[in-house]
Structure 1
Amino acid sequence: MSVFLVLIGLALLVVGGDFLVRASVGLSFKLKLSKLVIGMTVVSFATSAPELLVSLQAALEGVSDIALGNVIGSNIANIGLVLGITAIISPLAVDKDFYKLNWPMMMLSSFVLYYFLWNDNVLTAIEGLILFVSLIVFLVVLIRSSRKSIKANIEEVDDALAVVSNFKIVMWLLIGAAGLYFGSLWLVDGAKQLATAVGISDYAISVTVIAIGTSVPELAASVIAALKKEKALSLGNLIGSNIFNIASVLGLTAIIKPIAVNPETPEILSTNIWWMIAFAAILIPLILIPKRLEIGRLKGMLLFGGYLVFIYTALK
């Protein structure tokens, strides 16, 4: 039953998230927002909704391990699993803007999160607000810099959604909200039951099974694109997802319900958050050495191999 709840929860999160993105973009077009703003804010917030609902549901149920493990595991999976496998299939070119703005913000938010948790073993509402406000400032800077560049990445905005009827937008919002609510509820309950049945911690389940599950849609889309020799993924978008996970998902969750570090899972601060920081940090030498601005198959194998080691240590 626990496995069924996890699977149906993940499926509902994927479906609910997709409907929410469609509805959000359609509504944004109605409000006359530019494609650039829609792509960099509305789509980003909407695609982070599944992780937000899972972490919020877990925090409200008092399972802080899942709230933290969901984000830490998802950030590791985005780089080790999604980026690693995609690069193995098809080498990725990297834009110079990546290490000028996105990467520094990802590293900064990761270290700030570590400090907040290490300081008093809890992510407070004030600290959550600081994270969220920093995200807003980052987005303003990002939009301004992107407006100066003709290469601003707005491919993920579907023009067809500009002519969608109001009725469809409302229906998509309702379906998306219902999918995210019940998906997060059943996923958290299923994860707790599965952890008990297997004999491992809630945190171990969240940092592996739940994190992989929430990364599956992006992984599937990237692999299909890579096999078709299309642009597999934007590294900037992937790193942006990691920034949103920390500043938006954990930030908003902490504002609503402070997240305490469970003393029974010290590996959150002693080990796994450092895995997250290490996967983020290694991107710079990988991008610059030996072939600049490319993540090739060998580098992809290194990332994926590192991810397998992480999974082994997390479940051990």
Structure 2
Amino acid sequence: MGDVGLTVLGVALLAIGGDLLVRGSSRIAAAARMSPLLIGLTVVAFGTSAPEMAASVAAAAQGKGDIAFGNVVGSNIANILLVLGASAILAPLAITSGLLRRDVPVMVASALAVVVVAWDGAIIRFEGAALLMAALAYVLHSIRAARGARMASEPATSPTVGSRPGLGRGAAEAVIGLALLVLGARWMVEGAVALARLLGLSELIIGLTVVAVGTSLPEIAASLIAAARGQRDIAIGNVVGSNTFNVLSVLGVSSVSASGGMAIHPGALHFDVPVMVAASLACMPVFLTGARICRTEGVFMVGYYAAYVIYLVLDASGHDHLPVMSLVMGAFVVPLTLILMGFAVYRHLRNGAPPAR
């Protein structure tokens, strides 16, 4: 099968797997009386991050640290700007959950942790192990907090989880969906990477763009389908949980797997990591004020991601238009982002948090 055919088949499996995963997760949430947000933060987020884990660990073990690190950073940027933006265009996303307001700062803190551990140009195994411990603590804390909120809101005579119908079917759908997502992402990335290498792109650029977008397709599929089905908590929780999991678990396991730790390309440390942190910080005014991501903001987020990818390609090729693109990024994109963040806060303070349409 050719590279294009392999890519198309992978995308098809991702779409089918994403639909099954959201269906199964919704059934689990209903049957076990679990918060849909908790499902998004754990089952969906961790499951759709499986391609990132497989790709980054394999790359790190083979000494391809640029692909491994670029995949994590690029996936997180794509999750926020592309996945959330596209989901908001499809259906405006309401941000109303107190649980989400707690997990967003954790996502931002995990992004800042990348700056700390990679500052010296490498992530050693000890630092990778520390990230893994933080991931375990995050999961346990999220489950405990959600369980406490559920117990406080439901009667003591509620039936046991095992007696609720739909749990087995939901689990089966989720498992099949995850399997299709992983297989589809693998085939899509294999075909896309082969095509990208024909274009002469570096391993870092491949990791930041082709591999990152490819392994983020499960998040894109799961969040878009969840948004279309009205499961907005799953759509948002998927992104927040995936980004946290990518840094703490995927980067942690990749660093431990790499012999002697994982070297970090200076270009990624000085440009792409700050972009990831900035994208995470840009979400906080909207998320923490309980507002919403409307369609207009979604369009801007997708546009920002397109500008980021264009800049990477121009920079990698040394194109004559690179200075113009740099001017556009510095003189227009950054100020416009600050204006949109201020507008989101102003809208919340003036009108409160309107429901999503």
TM interval, shorter chain, is 0.7 to 0.9
Structure 2 counterpart of 1:305, one-letter code: G
Residue 64 of structure 2 corresponds to residue 63 of structure 1: yes
User: Partner residue of 1:308?
Assistant: 306
Describe the SS at the equivalent of 2:139: helix
- SS of 2:150's equivalent in the other structure is coil
User: In structure 2, what is the equivalent of residue 155 of structure 1?
Assistant: none
Classify 1:151/1:49 alpha carbon distance in 2 versus 1 (closer, same or farther; 3 Å).
Answer: farther
Correspondence 1:262-273 to 2 at 5 A: 263=265, 266-273=266-273
Q: Is residue 302 of structure 2 the alignment partner of residue 296 of structure 1?
A: no
Structure 2: distance between partners of 1:273 and 1:148:
35
Deviation track 1:191-243 (CA, whole Å, cap 9, x = no partner) reads 55433310211221222222222233332343345445x23453233201100
Whether the 8 Å contact between 1:17 and 1:50 is mirrored in structure 2 is: no
**Is the alpha carbon distance of 1:172 and 1:306 closer, same or farther for their aligned partners in structure 2, counting shifts above 3 Å?**
closer
CA contact (8 A) 2:22 2:225 kept: no
Greater C-alpha radius of gyration: 2
1:68: Cα distance to partner? 1.1
Flag the 1:12–1:59 CA change in 2: closer, same or farther, 3 A: farther
How far did residue 272 of structure 1 move? 0.8
- Secondary structure of the residue that 1:107 maps to in structure 2? helix
2:71 touches 2:207 (CA, 8 Å); kept in 1?
Answer: yes
- Distance in 1 separating the partners of 2:5 and 2:149: 47
Q: Structure 2 matches for 1:124-143, cutoff 5 A?
A: 124-143=124-143
The 1:56/1:17 distance shift into structure 2, 3 A limit, reads farther
Decide whether the 8 Å contact of 1:72 with 1:273 is kept in 2: yes
Cα offset, 1:296, TM superposition: 1.4
Calculate the TM-score normalised by the size of structure 1.
0.75
> Which residue in 1 is equivalent to 2:91?
90
Corresponding residue pairs, total = 295
- Indicate how the Cα distance of structure 1 residues 254 and 144 shifts in structure 2: closer, same or farther if over 3 A, else same: same
Residue in 2 that maps onto 1:223: 224
Normalised TM-score (structure 2):
0.68
The residue identity in structure 2 corresponding to 1:293 is A
Map 1:5-24 → 2, pairs under 5 A: none
Same amino acid, percent of matched pairs: 36
Code of the residue aligned with 1:77 in structure 2: it is A
Q: Distance in 2 between matches of 1:10 and 1:87?
A: 21
Matches within 5 A, 1:78-117: 78-97=79-98, 100-117=101-118
The secondary structure found in structure 1 opposite 2:149 is coil
Partner residue, 2:327: none
CA distance in 1, matches of 2:23, 2:51: 14
1:270-292 CA distance string (max 9 Å, x none): 11111111110001223467xx4
CA, structure 1 residues 61+141, in 2 after alignment: closer, same or farther (shift >3 Å)? same
* Residues 148-187 of structure 1: pairs in structure 2 closer than 5 A: 148-150=148-150, 160=166, 162=168, 176=179, 180=182, 184=186
Shift of the 176–217 alpha-carbon distance from structure 1 to 2, 3 Å rule, reads closer
Deviations 1:173-192 (A, max 9, x none): 9x949x958964x6665555
> Which range moved further: 85-94 or 128-137?
85-94
- Offset at residue 261 of structure 1 (A): 3.1
Q: Which residue of 1 aligns with 2:262?
A: 260
Structure 2 gap ranges (5+): 153-163, 315-357
CA contact (8 A) 1:192 1:202 kept: no
Gaps of 5+ in 1: 153-157
Tell me, what secondary structure is at the counterpart of 1:212? helix
